[in-house]
Structure 1
Amino acid sequence: MKANEIKKGSVLQIDNQPIMIKQVQVQSPSSRSGSTLYKVKGKNIITRQKFERSFKGDEQVETVEFVRRPVQLLYQDSDGCTFMDSETYEQFIVSKNLIEEELTYVSEGLEGMQAFISNEQVLGIELPGTVTLEIVDSAPGIKGASASARSKPATLSTGLVVQVPEYLNPGERIKINTDNGAYISRG
């Protein structure tokens, strides 16, 4: 596949490592003779390290053959996380280390997750764009604070800490962007 065909969500084989593409930025040449550059940002699926590289538009890149399967988290234990394929009901265990970052957004019954499977091995988990989680701990809300733009830290049911508006209280459900961990709205 050519570099100009790379899209967000693609999995590429770069330096013998599977890289999940999170962002593609196109840089047009400043001169006529220059070629368009495609700056990709992603994450190594195995080591979880961030990845950044630029490719020329006609440069060839190798893709990883994988299958996306809709999954649901059943439970977590010391062995890892047990997921179930939502279509075949097949269960599989994924190491917590592999999906450590994603786990802060995953609550039981979360819909819209997908597993990347290659050669009968789970490469990673993709989260939906937003998740709804409950605030379990934060400073008390201030009456009349809805007009101010100040925020406070709040701990969510999964242990994730995010900045939320001052008027929110423990027990309320909120929507969170899974790409950057930012508060979106009440859930």
Structure 2
Amino acid sequence: MTAYSGNSLKSGVKILINNDPCEIQYSEFIKPGKGQAFVRIKFKQLLTGKLLSKTVKATDIFYSTDVIEINVVYLYTNKSIWVFMNNESFEHIYVSRKFLFGSEKWLTNLSKCKITLWNNSPIAVYIDNFVNLKVQDTDIVVKGDTVSSSNKLVTVETGTIIRVPLFIKKGDSIKIDTRNGKYISRVTN
């Protein structure tokens, strides 16, 4: 285990805070005119996905955690367990829905993902920030609808419903931002 002092915490470092694995998102070293130096950190709890802030002394000691990330491919789900395959060893990894943090809305067969393991147990699944999905179903647009709105709802191949411009039709591939679920563009092959 590597030890880090408070003033050596940088973005991306994975440490234990209150015996929970956390990833530092942001750190700011502050040396006031009077008193002891301190560090303001923002970190993500890897077990819950929560973003938290904390002020620590520059001399506080934190220990690294044995968190590793592996590349996987999504295979299937039985609604309570999501099954992924390790790209290197071809072993199956079973993940509970609570560790998907909403990414299940964008997963299709053979989607590439990253899984974070802590003590050889999956604690988080990460997908790309942008995915291309096919439109399965769409609302019918009637001439004159643009007066009230310039968007409509569509269902993509994963079953998720999103808002898109009126020109998108059934069978089109669209690019979606998975962080906020918004339409980005139409994808041409």
TM-score after normalising by structure 2: 0.73
Structure 2 spans left out of the alignment, 5+ residues: none
> Partners of 1:41 and 1:185 in 2: how far apart?
32
Matches within 5 A, 1:2-81: 2=6, 5-8=9-12, 10-20=13-23, 23-24=25-26, 33=33, 38-40=40-42, 42=44, 44-48=45-49, 50-55=50-55, 58=58, 60-78=61-79, 80-81=81-82
Q: Residues 21-170 of structure 1 correspond to what in structure 2 (within 5 A)?
A: 23-24=25-26, 33=33, 38-40=40-42, 42=44, 44-48=45-49, 50-55=50-55, 58=58, 60-78=61-79, 80-111=81-112, 113-141=113-141, 150-170=150-170
Is the alpha carbon distance of 1:4 and 1:139 closer, same or farther for their aligned partners in structure 2, counting shifts above 3 Å? farther
One-letter amino acid matched to 1:171: G
Aligned equivalents of 2:57, 2:137: Cα separation in 1: 48
* Structural RMSD (CA): 3.4
Question: How many residue pairs align between the two structures?
Answer: 178
User: Which deviations, in whole Å up to 9, do the C-alpha atoms of 1:121-150 show, x marking residues without a partner?
Assistant: 11211111211112223323578999xx93
State the secondary structure of the residue aligned to 1:97: helix
The structure having more radius of gyration, on CA atoms, is: 2
Q: Which has the higher strand share?
A: 2
Residue segments in structure 1 that go unaligned for 5+ positions in a row? none
Q: Quick check: 2:7–2:29 contact (8 Å CA) kept in 1? A: no
The answer to whether the 8 A contact 1:114-1:125 is kept is yes
**Measured at CA, do residues 69 and 28 of structure 1 come closer, stay the same or move farther in structure 2, by a change above 3 Å?**
closer
CA contact (8 A) 2:101 2:124 kept: no
Shift of 1:39: 4.9
Taking only the aligned residue pairs, the percentage that are identical comes to: 22
TM-score (norm 1): 0.74
